[in-house]
Chain A
């Protein structure tokens, strides 16, 4: 089957003062894949996905998504176009219930017309991440791991074409990570997933391909096998991490 490009960047660049956080990155993502981005702290991973989601404006370069140029598209319209983004630092509505959190995401896709449809979609998203039992709880009162899952559920409730997750397993216990891997496997059946991840077990369990970033550039890209055997990667990253 021919690979269909879902997202492509050309020469994507972002500077912060004298620092080039993302440096002329050419990147391609196929529809249906699970891609992991790895790289040391400060490599520019969050900045890169921030550019994709519209959270950060690019200095140069272009982004095409699903056949259209979205370089100048405002962030909220990119979400409507199918790019869902979860923050590296948990970002939810702490004073609202878990169900309301998911409902706000669901109604972004469904409109404010039918509350019954919104609620059903919100419940489905919560069920997918295993939070059904906590629906009526105040989101801010949940354990940290559960709050991260609320974020993932919000992403799912958008029914995105591309789900971007910035370090979703940071701070999770081993059992929560195992659950998370199962959740993402199910999500991957219907969406493309772009995942920034430091935990190599998670990367190896989920990613079909891996992109390695360093100093704002793509250092290497390939299957998990190719990446673990890549000497440049071993020197720059894997060697130091394990």
Chain B
């Protein structure tokens, strides 16, 4: 039973099929909004690795999103490298930053950990402002490199359809990769550390190293999303490094269900659509979002999929 989770795997494949199929069915639908959802879903999935699976509530994941975005964007802008290489540099940059921050922040737990991660992320945000002559600061930078060759195929990132499919490919790879990771021994180990660190240590595990591994994985996936965001839309800016970005990852994950593979995906889709709609209607939308969160914690304390898992579908994890 623990070796595979065939129903969840089938559901992941169905989600991927729906993602690629959507562009043919939903003619005229805002492809841009869907592309954003796919990219931000990768961010939330990454966040969920630390927060949901390994039980480390970070308030600083904007830093890793921004690390990926800036490493990729600066490489593209100043490094004379193609988009795929810039993307790879973005992922590596986020991995390096999350390793450094993890080594420092994981000396703390719970509330102190939240504060420490938040403070590091604020430092990162201020650095992007401080070095505005290279980063573009809050004005941001537009990236001129807008296409790449995939073998014989030229991909034009100014095309909405190309952007959507690139995002869908990265989303699918991340989803399947995290499926493999979370539904086997590694996922079980993350859960063990979250549920009972003392017992886990007394079973022969170096709990600090497992936490660090989960944190770096989480930050790297978050940075993958940031790199993809910047390169896909050809723009990087300080606003992505703001506290608000960290809160969004937390919000998406909480709504969808921490510690469920697909929860953050659902949470991202619901909340971005909701915030976009509400934002168009009223400037007071944060109040509505807040009220919704309260309702959610009352009726779906473990998020939508987390609650469904606990009540009806134990395989939805």
A: residues with CB less than 8 A from B are 53, 55, 74-77, 79-80, 85, 87, 91-97, 99-100, 103-105, 107-109, 112, 115-116, 118-119, 136, 154, 158
Least Cβ–Cβ distance between A70 and chain B, in angstroms: 13
User: Which residues of the other chain, A, contact B3 by a CB distance below 8 angstroms?
Assistant: 115-116, 119
Least Cβ–Cβ distance between A113 and chain B, in angstroms: 8
* A-B interface pairs (CB < 8 A), number: 75
How long is the Cα–Cα vector from A77 to B2 in the complex, in angstroms? 27
User: Which residues of the other chain, A, contact B196 by a CB distance below 8 angstroms?
Assistant: 91-93
B109 proximal to A (CB < 8 A)? no
- A95 and B195 within 8 A (CB): yes
- B2 and A119 within 8 A (CB): yes
B277 proximal to A (CB < 8 A)? no
- A112 and B203 within 8 A (CB): no
B7 proximal to A (CB < 8 A)? no
- A80 and B204 within 8 A (CB): yes
Q: A92-B196, A115-B185 are in contact. Are A53 and B1 (CB under 8 A)?
A: no
Q: A76-B204, A158-B204 are in contact. Are A115 and B1 (CB under 8 A)?
A: no
**When each residue 181-206 of chain B gets 1 if its CB lies under 8 Å from chain A and 0 otherwise, what string results?**
00011101101100110111111111
Least Cβ–Cβ distance between A171 and chain B, in angstroms: 18
- A158 and B189 within 8 A (CB): no
User: Which residues of the other chain, B, contact A158 by a CB distance below 8 angstroms?
Assistant: 203-204
- A76 and B199 within 8 A (CB): no
User: Which residues of the other chain, A, contact B202 by a CB distance below 8 angstroms?
Assistant: 53, 55, 75-76, 79, 85, 87, 91
A-B contact pairs, 27 of them (CB 8 A): A53-B202, A76-B201, A76-B202, A76-B203, A76-B206, A79-B203, A79-B204, A85-B202, A87-B199, A91-B198, A92-B196, A93-B196, A96-B192, A99-B1, A100-B2, A103-B2, A103-B188, A104-B188, A104-B192, A104-B200, A105-B203, A107-B189, A108-B203, A115-B185, A118-B185, A154-B203, A158-B204
Chain A binding surface, main DSSP class = helix
- A91 and B2 within 8 A (CB): no
Closest to A79 in B: B204
- B186 and A112 within 8 A (CB): yes
User: Which residues of the other chain, A, contact B189 by a CB distance below 8 angstroms?
Assistant: 104, 107, 112
Closest to B3 in A: A115
In the A-B complex, the 10 residue pairs with the closest CB atoms? A79-B204, A112-B185, A108-B204, A80-B204, A115-B3, A104-B192, A108-B203, A91-B199, A107-B185, A93-B195
How long is the Cα–Cα vector from A101 to B57 in the complex, in angstroms? 24
B94 proximal to A (CB < 8 A)? no
- B191 and A108 within 8 A (CB): no
User: Which residues of the other chain, A, contact B198 by a CB distance below 8 angstroms?
Assistant: 91
How long is the Cα–Cα vector from A91 to B3 in the complex, in angstroms? 24
B207 proximal to A (CB < 8 A)? yes
Contact of B188 among A75, A76, A100 (CB under 8 A): A100
Least Cβ–Cβ distance between B317 and chain A, in angstroms: 11
Which of B185-237 touch A at CB < 8 Å?
A: 185-186, 188-189, 191-192, 195-196, 198-207
- B203 and A96 within 8 A (CB): no
How long is the Cα–Cα vector from A93 to B2 in the complex, in angstroms? 15
How long is the Cα–Cα vector from A87 to B203 in the complex, in angstroms? 11
User: Which residues of the other chain, B, contact A103 by a CB distance below 8 angstroms?
Assistant: 2, 185, 188
Q: A92-B196, A99-B2, A115-B3 are in contact. Are A109 and B204 (CB under 8 A)?
A: yes
- B204 and A115 within 8 A (CB): no
User: Which residues of the other chain, A, contact B188 by a CB distance below 8 angstroms?
Assistant: 96, 100, 103-104, 107
Closest to B191 in A: A96
How long is the Cα–Cα vector from A74 to B205 in the complex, in angstroms? 10
Least Cβ–Cβ distance between A48 and chain B, in angstroms: 16
Beyond contacts A91-B202, A96-B191: 17 other A-B pairs, Cβ-Cβ < 8 A, are A76-B206, A79-B202, A87-B202, A91-B199, A92-B196, A93-B199, A96-B188, A96-B195, A99-B2, A103-B2, A104-B189, A107-B189, A112-B189, A116-B3, A119-B2, A119-B3, A154-B203
User: Which residues of the other chain, A, contact B199 by a CB distance below 8 angstroms?
Assistant: 87, 91-93
Least Cβ–Cβ distance between A218 and chain B, in angstroms: 25
How long is the Cα–Cα vector from A133 to B86 in the complex, in angstroms? 54
